Structure 1
Amino acid sequence: MTYRRIVIAVLSARFMRWQERLRLSLTKQWPETEVIFRFEPGDDAQSETVTQLLTLERMLLRRSKPTLCDRIDKSASTATLETNADVVIDLVGDISATTAARVLRPLYDGHTSDQAAVDAILSGAAPTLAVEDGATGAVIVEGVPSFEAADGLTGGLEAVYSRICFLIEKALADPDAQAADHAKKCDRTKARPAAFFLRNIAFRGLREIYRLCTRSPHWRVGWRHVQGPGVIETGSLTGPAWRVMPDQEVAFSADPFPIEWRGKKGVFFELLDYRRDLGEIFFQPFDDSGPVGAPVRSIQERWHLSYPFLIEEGGELYMVPEASTSGAITLYRCMEFPATWEPVANLVENIEAADATIFRHNGRYWMTSVIRDGYGGYSDVLAIHHAPSLFGPWERHGNSPVLIDPRYARPAGAVVSHNGALLRPVQDCSRGYGKNLAIMRIDALDPETFRQSQVSYLSPGGRWPGDRLHTINRFGDLECIDGAVFTPRPMSIRRALHERIDQRLEDPGAPLLAN
């Protein structure tokens, strides 16, 4: 969809950093389009106590770093509603009389004011976000933000504003879309900001003590040999007993991808050493009875690596490890199995993407991943790219991001073809990162369309004890999962606190309580 001019209507008394960020994002997405602000008169509806809470969090939790909630000076680029605009984005909530072809209006739990998002965050809930057609009231797109990385009210609002920007872009890209079964207006019980702040500080303190006492979460890999249908096909963890791959006290293991390549069998996985807090890709050799020998390092970079997705192409073995902090989705080729790999191509650049998962469908290559723009959670925005070959060129799906929902977005392993259907394992992160798994069936997929539906749901416990279930993969008869358990640290609280205090003395800017 092309536009000549987009006008963003905002309150003059409440012009915020996220609104300017929206303008810059739209300018980047539609470089030939003029994107300008219209400043509307009106009072700032934000309560003084909320303003004070955001100011306090900025000083204490953010060390005065800029946030998307900050007020900023008016932009010099302004317009009137009489300006011939193709679209007006109404961030005020009551723009109606306009000569624009269309008005798009964000909704927060069905309300036009973002105070509804504040109420939701203060009450401990994530609001449903949407964009409606200002003329008809029809909801075009909607989503739910993830608060897995949110820090206080500020972090919650940054997640909200970031995802509203994504939804506005989706509504502009597909003006004929219409959300099905969208959520109705929701009124939350109003919470007191002061009480929220005290609870948040208390929670941060308790969380830090918990982290000082435990390796939390301590991920571990489960494996078994299974004949016939496995977890993805049955939607169940039942069957042969799960056994735990050899573990290390100073490191955790996660994201298992089993493989048998040229007579060698084993599992690639992420190994994170707690002392370095940086993930690397290792390989655990297997024989028919289970793990044999010590794990072998396969890929090490300056940045964190995890989720070693594997794909065979043209008689060669390739890997696409998660490396979101590198700013690219990189393809590695195996030079000598399993320990020597070399990067051969950046499939997608200038992207903060995690858990890229590639599969073939209808003569094309498809890649799902979760993306973020520096704000909000890591598990709620599903992006899709597609290409004629593994090596590209990779194009963004016409409706990407196709989904904003922490329940069904983040990949949890390879896509499996079963009885003519593509089954996609996903992480349900709505109650926290990697808590549960769902198996989704891809019902429609082409360069402009994506639909999926849930066929089964899996939770840890019973045959796989712990409080998280994170990844499922299989190669041949070797099936692997992972999850997290409570593991005490091999040091006292007193020693750990002394280490943190010593760190603070060496670096006064270091937080005494971890973020």
Structure 2
Amino acid sequence: MPDSHGPESVRLVLPGATMPSEEGTIWRIRFDGHHDEASLLHALLEGRPPLVEVVENNEVVLARGIVALDAVATLCDAYEAVATRLVQLVAMAIRAPDRRAPAVPITAIGSGSLGAYVLRRVARLLVRRMYRLCAYPNHWRTGWRFARSGETVWDKGTLDGAPWRVLTGPGHHFYADPFPFSWQGQSTLFVEDFDHHVGRAVISAFAFGPDGPVGPAIPVLEESFHLSYPFVFAHAGNVWMIPETAANRTVSLYRADPYPWRWVRDRDLLTDLVASDATVMKHGDRWWMFATLYDGTGSYSDTLGLFTASDLFGPWIAHPHNPIIIDAGMARPAGCMRIHEGRLWRPAQDCTQRYGGALVLAEVTELSESHFAQIIRHRIQPGPDWTGSRLHTINCAGGIEAIDGSAVSLKLFGQG
């Protein structure tokens, strides 16, 4: 039922249902611009994230989302993911019936078939099995360079410029989610340090000198669960870290004691939720936290939640329009937000093709306790300046600019 802020009387017509003859407000569901489930089926058979829209009287788009398929294993899983996001989109339209989504190109119905889908699935499974026999799956690498004024990714919207240098380590480890930071003259690069033999990661740090890293990665934070995305920042005379602790169903705050080699858990900012890549900043007189939310169905990367507080230490309150974005192409955070040339920017992952497939740089045009809006200004993908098939973090601080992406790491013969 609509809440007190929504329309008084609305008929929701699902795909395939007969249109009512009575006059009044009618909401319909569109998949890739079409009012039928065949369009959804074609998208799923082609392995393409479907565009899902809630449309009023066949004209005005009230809510729109692109559903990620990176975490689904079967066609049934994909349908369930779409159904879950559809319910959330309808709720978004009810909460903000006066909001309007901008027009987008209509996707032509493809020629996907069940037979072709099965063949692709079988081929993909065979390739994945062979790959896992000789290489570590989901292996990442971190690149860095010294930041030059006017030459950063934020200045140019591209990866070109000074060459990226790769952080090296043991073959069964990878370094990802790089966050550079400088405090009291010490520049440090914090990373997710994943051990394939253990199956989870700790947070490690590279000390930096005038020529680059000084020595190997040093583990600085370890828990009994997986850690990643070491979001580091300063506040009230201390250095803080909010690593991803989704495996513990918390968003937890740690304090450096001392910086950068030891971190103690200070408190949980949020509990009893699966929130990925929490990114905070103070803007205006309030603190804001962005994180993708997982409710047990579908992807971890297409549903963006926003929380706000008057103080870093809480209490943190969910935005009334959560989730504020359902879109595989622009939801999941990809690093620190920043003010650049007087405008507020937010990096995000483009997961439409695969998890962490590319980066987008979005300008935040509205951020308040009642509204949020962003506009994608740049899309950055791997290429000659950073080879590989994925790119999913960008950060610049302490005179260091850092990115990460996928890499191939072959296993030694006889080792798992």
TM-score w.r.t. the length of structure 1 is 0.74
Q: Alignment partner for residue 30 of structure 2, among 89, 94, 107?
A: 107
Structure number with higher strand proportion? 2
Q: Give the deviation of 1:109 after TM superposition.
A: 2.5
- Structure 2: which 5+ residue stretches go unaligned? none
Residue in structure 1 matched with residue 136 of structure 2 by the alignment: 215
Residue aligning to 1:436: 358
1:188 deviates by 3.1
Cα deviation per residue 1:436-471 (whole Å; 9 max; x = unaligned)? 212111122112222222222322232322222221
Tell me by how many angstroms 1:137 deviates: 4.9
**CA 1:455/1:182 → structure 2, altered by over 3 Å: closer, same or farther?**
closer
Query: Deviation digits for residues 223-271 of structure 1, max 9, x if unmatched?
Result: 1223313211221223322211232211110011111223432111101
- 1:80 matched to which residue of 2? none
Hey, what does 2:117 align to over in structure 1? 196
The residue that corresponds to 1:66 in the other structure is none
Deviation at 1:97, TM superposition (A): 6.1
Flag the 1:363–1:131 CA change in 2: closer, same or farther, 3 A: same
Pick from 376, 383, 399: which aligns with 1:454? 376
Structure 1 residues 476, 174: closer, same or farther in 2, change over 3 A? same
Code of the residue aligned with 1:173 in structure 2: it is: R
**Is 1:129 matched up with 2:71?**
no
- After TM superposition, the structure 1 = structure 2 runs for residues 92-491 of structure 1, keeping only pairs within 5 Å, are 93-94=17-18, 96=20, 104-133=27-56, 135=57, 137-182=59-104, 184=106, 186-191=108-113, 193-229=114-150, 230-491=152-413
Taking the aligned partners of 2:268 and 2:10, their CA distance within structure 1 comes to: 35
User: What's the RMSD between the two structures over aligned residues?
Assistant: 2.5
Shift in CA distance, 286/388, structure 1 to aligned 2, threshold 3 Å: same
The one-character-per-residue Cα deviations of 1:173-218 (angstroms, maximum 9, x if unpaired) are: 1122222215547433251x24422431232122121122112332
User: How many residues are treated as equivalent by the alignment?
Assistant: 413
The separation in 2 between residues aligned to 1:143 and 1:364, in whole angstroms, is: 28
Provide TM-score, normalisation by structure 2.
0.91
Unaligned runs of 5+ in 1: 5-29, 31-84, 497-515
> Structure 1 residues 184 and 234, CA, compared in 2 at 3 Å: closer, same or farther?
closer
CA 238–137 in structure 1, closer or farther in 2 if over 3 Å, else same: closer
Displacement, 1:343?
A: 2.2
Cα gap change, 1:149/1:458 in structure 2, threshold over 3 Å: closer, same or farther?
same
Deviations 1:355-399 (A, max 9, x none): 111112121111111122122222221221111111122122232
SS across alignment from 1:121? helix
Question: In the alignment, is residue 3 of structure 1 matched against residue 3 of structure 2?
Answer: yes
- Shift of the 295–88 alpha-carbon distance from structure 1 to 2, 3 Å rule, reads same
Query: C-alpha separation between the residues in 1 aligned to 2:309 and 2:18?
Result: 42
Percent of aligned positions with the same letter in both sequences?
34
Letter in 2 for 1:249: G
Aligned partner of residue 301 in structure 2, secondary structure = coil
In 2, the alpha carbon distance for the partners of 1:361 and 1:369 equals 16
Check the 8 A contact 1:284/1:295 in 2, yes or no. yes
1:217 is aligned with what amino acid?
Answer: N
Q: CA deviation at 1:86?
A: 5.3
SS in 2 for 1:157: helix
Distance in 2, Cα, partners of 1:354 & 1:262? 30
Q: Is the 8 A contact 1:366 1:386 kept in 2?
A: yes
Q: 1:118, 1:153 within 8 Å by CA — same for their partners in 2?
A: no
For residues 32-75 of structure 1, give each alpha carbon's deviation from its aligned partner in whole angstroms, at most 9, with x where no partner exists: xxxxxxxxxxxxxxxxxxxxxxxxxxxxxxxxxxxxxxxxxxxx
